[in-house]
Amino acid sequence: MKKTCLKCGHANENSTGEPTEACPSCGAIYSRVEAAWSATPRPTTASKVRTFPPERDELVEAFAERLRGESLYPVFRSLVGVIYVVWMVFAALAVLGGGVAFWRSTGAAAFGALFMGIFLGVFFAVIAKVTREVSLMLADLSDAAVHIAARVRA
Q: Is the pLDDT of residue 68 over 60?
A: yes
What percent of the chain has a predicted confidence (pLDDT) above 90? Answer: 38
Residues 111/116/118/119 CA torsion (nearest 10 deg): 140
Rounded Cα distance between 154 and 149, Å, is: 9
Q: Whole-number mean pLDDT of the chain?
A: 82
114 in helix, strand or coil? Answer: helix
Rounded Cα distance between 149 and 72, Å, is: 14
Q: What is the pLDDT of residue 46?
A: 47
Residues 107/112/118/122 CA torsion (nearest 10 deg): 170
Within 10 A of 40 (CB to CB), how many other CB atoms are there? Answer: 11
The Cα-based distances of 107 to 98, 99, 103 in angstroms read 14, 14, 11
Q: Is the pLDDT of residue 43 over 80?
A: no
> Which residue(s) pair with 11 in the sheet?
4
pLDDT in tens, 17-33: 787 888 888 888 878 87
